[in-house]
A = this chain, B = another copy of it.
Amino acid sequence: MMNSSRKIILEHDDGEFSSSNTSSSTLLDPEEFRRQGHMMVDFLADYFHNIQNYPVRSQVEPGYLKKILPDSAPYQPESIEEILEDVKRNIFPGLTHWQSPNFFAYFPCISSSAGILGEMLSVGLNVVGFSWITSPAATELENIVMDWLGKLINLPNTYLFSGGGGGVIQGTICEAMLCTIVAARDQMLEKIGRDNIGKLVVYSSDQTHSCFQKSIKISGIRLENFRAIPTTKATEFALCPKSLREAIQKDIKVGLVPLFLCATIGTTSTTTVDPLHPLCQIAKEYGIWVHVDAAYAGSACICPEFQHFLNGVENADSFSLNAHKWLFCTLDCCCLWVKDPNSLTKALSTTPEYLRNKASESQQVVDYKNWQITLSRRFRALKLWFVLRCHGVVNIKKFIRSHIKMAKNFEGLISMDERFEIVVPTNFSMVCFRVSPSALQKKFEFVDEVRVNEFNEKLLESINSSGVIHMTHTIVGGIYMIRFAIGAPLTHYSHITNAWDVIQNHANVML
């Protein structure tokens, strides 16, 4: 009995019941919202003006905020003015400024006015579109913009509502992967029996995003049956079709059941593109579900010059990209298309009495709750609609191409300094580079790969600690490389050249 840990409060709350009707005691007064909303817009506009002045990567120590904030929630209301002051004073130092023009870390999560406005509208309306009837516009606009976007990246018609497939907006790729794995799993277990879940095998390269492994774990598929097929520099770290076939055949030989392949367009470490065409053909031979993860690079396929990367997707089963990465929607907005929506809804539907309604039973409508993990869902289609309309396809192409051009420029700068090298080809807007072994040989007596890696790690930490620019790293094929990912919404060419100056300066000190 641990009841003692729960203090029973027997306070007299009379005073609370009779509390006077001040403005702060109203949940949503339109005029008070107007006043405060304008204040918040100005606060954000000012933030965007000043964003360059903050250290890009937060410089605080673990636990900094606990030392500043009170231990419990305030009993009396506080003004929005006070709270915004606290945001500046206490929250800002603890932010890593993802929208800073000097942010080159991870993959960017690129915001835009249009994306913010669309999300503001969604937040304000605050409708919950789990079934069609709970807000038909939320479902239907999502149907429409997902077809729009699918057409823009030249996805085969079979993925679109207009072609018998369909798209859904989820939060992140991890959800998209989990949903499709579960759909594939249940389809297969129906054939081979529920008891055989331990026999299912899933495949990807060793460069596939870690959320694939996580989705597998969550779905109850054995982690021992996850084949992260090794890649090599010879194939620029792409999944080799021959290796895939060998792995499949080996598994079949011992009585296992190949289920699922995740192929990637633009891996996280090096933006490698897996060869979809041959991979999907092999998968098709063995009845394997193919999911194509194009989280970052998928948006680039709006530009025709990148659409060849999708050759072969007509033989895959599902495809996803994060519109919050490179399509100017704010977090979160993961676009998932499937050829066979039934496979999703069969695995994910539940219809309790309290959600039954005529529209759903007529089967004339999409109920997105059956296309995803969660029941409740935000009206995310608004921001995608705003982004596509506010910018127009013409400008979206321009933005994407300008990011890619900046990456080329950055590559050009690197290539003029013989102390540095590009480690893998730049496919999109992210450049992987390092201080080269030869540069270190001039300075140090003994130089091996470990030493080179250590040096680059120290260089990166030195730069990030300065707070002037922020980049991250990866290690692939034993090589530690610095990732320079371009796309923050306020980044211009001058920020690229400045960043290069910063990198060179830090290297100058260390070399």
Whether the Cβ atoms of A42 and B36 lie closer than 8 Å is no
Enumerate A271-314 residues with CB–CB distance to B below 8 Å.
Answer: 303-305, 307-308, 310-311, 313-314
Q: A62-B364, A348-B214 are in contact. Are A158 and B73 (CB under 8 A)?
A: no
Tell me which residues across on chain B come within 8 A of A310, comparing CB atoms. 6
Tell me which residues across on chain B come within 8 A of A76, comparing CB atoms. 392, 394
Whether the Cβ atoms of A178 and B73 lie closer than 8 Å is no
Tell me which residues across on chain B come within 8 A of A111, comparing CB atoms. 27-28, 124, 126
Whether the Cβ atoms of A376 and B109 lie closer than 8 Å is yes
Q: Write out, one digit per residue, whether chain A residues 347-373 have a CB within 8 A of any chain B CB (1) or not (0).
A: 110111111001100101100000001
A138 to chain B, nearest CB (A): 8
A contacts with B: majority SS: helix
Q: Which of B45, B123, B163 contacts A330 (CB 8 A)?
A: B123
Q: Write out, one digit per residue, whether chain A residues 175-215 have a CB within 8 A of any chain B CB (1) or not (0).
A: 10010001001100000001101100000000001110110
Q: Which residue of chain B is the closest to A140 with respect to CB atoms?
A: B65
Q: Does A315 contact B (CB under 8 A)?
A: yes
29 chain-A/chain-B pairs, Cβ below 8 angstroms: A5-B156, A5-B157, A13-B304, A24-B390, A27-B391, A28-B113, A28-B490, A33-B41, A33-B45, A40-B117, A44-B121, A58-B133, A58-B135, A60-B136, A66-B144, A72-B148, A80-B117, A94-B141, A95-B136, A98-B127, A98-B135, A109-B126, A174-B373, A178-B218, A210-B350, A210-B355, A210-B375, A332-B374, A354-B474
Q: A109-B128, A140-B63 are in contact. Are A44 and B40 (CB under 8 A)?
A: no
**Which of A231-239, A397-405, A420-428 is the interface stretch?**
A397-405
Whether the Cβ atoms of A95 and B137 lie closer than 8 Å is yes
Q: Does A393 contact B (CB under 8 A)?
A: yes
Q: Could you tell me the distance between the alpha carbons of A395 and B78 in the complex, rounded to whole angstroms? A: 11
Q: Could you tell me the distance between the alpha carbons of A490 and B79 in the complex, rounded to whole angstroms? A: 21
Whether the Cβ atoms of A136 and B58 lie closer than 8 Å is yes
Whether the Cβ atoms of A376 and B126 lie closer than 8 Å is no
Q: Which of B141, B210, B375 contacts A91 (CB 8 A)?
A: B141
Q: Which of B60, B96, B350, B397 contacts A211 (CB 8 A)?
A: B350
| Residue among A96, A119, A358 having the largest count of chain B Cβ atoms under 10 Å | A96
Whether the Cβ atoms of B171 and A171 lie closer than 8 Å is yes
| Residue among A28, A314, A473, A475 having the largest count of chain B Cβ atoms under 10 Å | A28
Enumerate A76-114 residues with CB–CB distance to B below 8 Å.
Answer: 76-80, 82-83, 87, 90-99, 106, 109-114
Whether the Cβ atoms of A388 and B74 lie closer than 8 Å is yes
Q: Does A386 contact B (CB under 8 A)?
A: yes
Q: Could you tell me the distance between the alpha carbons of A102 and B58 in the complex, rounded to whole angstroms? A: 45
Tell me which residues across on chain B come within 8 A of A155, comparing CB atoms. 6
**Which of A219-227, A252-260, A411-419, A437-445 is the interface stretch?**
A219-227
Whether the Cβ atoms of A47 and B96 lie closer than 8 Å is no
Whether the Cβ atoms of B37 and A117 lie closer than 8 Å is yes
Total interface residues in chain A, CB < 8 Å: 195
Enumerate A130-154 residues with CB–CB distance to B below 8 Å.
Answer: 132-138, 140-141, 143-145, 147-149, 151-152, 154
A81 to chain B, nearest CB (A): 11
Q: Does A9 contact B (CB under 8 A)?
A: yes
A237 to chain B, nearest CB (A): 13
Whether the Cβ atoms of B45 and A34 lie closer than 8 Å is yes
Q: Could you tell me the distance between the alpha carbons of A330 and B348 in the complex, rounded to whole angstroms? A: 25
Tell me which residues across on chain B come within 8 A of A10, comparing CB atoms. 304
Whether the Cβ atoms of A136 and B94 lie closer than 8 Å is yes
Whether the Cβ atoms of A218 and B182 lie closer than 8 Å is yes
Q: Which of B3, B73, B95, B113 contacts A152 (CB 8 A)?
A: B73
Enumerate A47-73 residues with CB–CB distance to B below 8 Å.
Answer: 47-49, 57-58, 60, 62-66, 69, 71-73
Q: A3-B311, A353-B269 are in contact. Are A73 and B148 (CB under 8 A)?
A: yes
Whether the Cβ atoms of B128 and A331 lie closer than 8 Å is yes
Whether the Cβ atoms of A151 and B378 lie closer than 8 Å is no
Whether the Cβ atoms of A218 and B373 lie closer than 8 Å is yes
Tell me which residues across on chain B come within 8 A of A242, comparing CB atoms. none
Q: Could you tell me the distance between the alpha carbons of A391 and B460 in the complex, rounded to whole angstroms? A: 44
Q: Could you tell me the distance between the alpha carbons of A140 and B143 in the complex, rounded to whole angstroms? A: 38
Enumerate A20-44 residues with CB–CB distance to B below 8 Å.
Answer: 24-25, 27-34, 36-38, 40-44
Q: Does A450 contact B (CB under 8 A)?
A: no
Q: Write out, one digit per residue, whether chain A residues 463-488 have a CB within 8 A of any chain B CB (1) or not (0).
A: 00000000011111000000100000
Q: A27-B399, A219-B219 are in contact. Are A374 and B172 (CB under 8 A)?
A: yes
Tell me which residues across on chain B come within 8 A of A328, comparing CB atoms. 27
Tell me which residues across on chain B come within 8 A of A37, comparing CB atoms. 41, 44-45, 113, 116-117, 120
